[in-house]
């Protein structure tokens, strides 16, 4: 990459890839610069220091993996079930970067500011699912409980060792969503 053409987003994209592989402890300025084949001066053009980079990295991840996804889904799909399924499918069957999700959560274990920010991410995601269940006819409390259930199922699917084929996983997730959408 040519240093004069790198954007802040280029740095953050590369940083997220490295972050997902090594976590915050392994994310060094030199490592990112080496991966991008540029000098540290290029880094300091966009960021004050490593801490500024880490804060920017978290915010970039949050916007892309939460806020922008929610906006896209709410605009692209009119039916609540389709909205829920698109998110579940992307995270569990698509190319969602679960390694970075896990690294963010590990980081939150040792940094109270990140932990507080992750609580906001979880609240934003659960609020999205809650709105979809409310739009499906559930009262707020029931919608919220079902939202937590689908969110937990979605996040945990990548970490469970079920030996399912992709088709079997998809069928299980579809059935789980159908069960959560059933009125009782």
- pLDDT tens across 118-158, in order? 999 999 999 999 999 999 999 999 999 999 999 999 998 87
Task: For residue 12, report the phi and psi dihedrals to the nearest 5 degrees.
Answer: -70, -40
Would you say 78 and 91 are in contact if contact means Cβ atoms under 8 Å apart? no
Domain spanning 3-181 has what CATH number?
Answer: 1.10.357.10
Per-domain residue ranges of the chain: 3-181
- How many Å apart are CA 66 and CA 125, to the nearest integer? 7
Global pTM? 0.90
Mean pLDDT across the chain = 93
- Give whole-number Cα distances, 106 to 32, 100, 101, 115, 148, in Å: 20, 10, 9, 9, 20
pLDDT of residue 96: 87
pLDDT (tens digit, 9 = 90+) per residue, 44-90? 999 999 999 999 999 999 999 999 999 999 999 999 999 999 999 99
């Amino acid at each position: 990459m040519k240093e004069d053409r790198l954007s802040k987003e280029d740095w953050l994209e590369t940083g997220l890839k490295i972050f997902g592989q090594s976590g915050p402890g392994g994310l060094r300025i030199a490592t990112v610069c080496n991966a991008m084949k540029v000098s540290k001066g290029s880094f300091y053009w966009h960021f004050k220091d490593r801490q500024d980079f880490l804060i920017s990295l978290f915010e970039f991840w949050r916007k892309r993996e939460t806020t922008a996804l929610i906006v896209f889904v709410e605009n692209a799909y009119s039916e609540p079930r389709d909205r829920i399924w698109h998110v579940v499918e992307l995270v569990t069957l698509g190319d969602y970067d679960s390694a970075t999700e896990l690294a963010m959560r590990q980081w939150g274990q040792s940094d109270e500011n990140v932990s507080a920010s992750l609580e906001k991410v979880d609240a934003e995601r659960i609020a999205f699912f809650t709105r979809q269940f409310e739009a499906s006819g559930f009262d707020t409390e029931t919608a919220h409980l079902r939202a937590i259930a689908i969110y937990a199922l979605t996040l945990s699917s990548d970490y469970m060792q079920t030996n399912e084929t992709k088709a079997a996983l998809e069928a299980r997730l579809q059935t789980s969503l159908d069960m959560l959408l059933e009125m009782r």
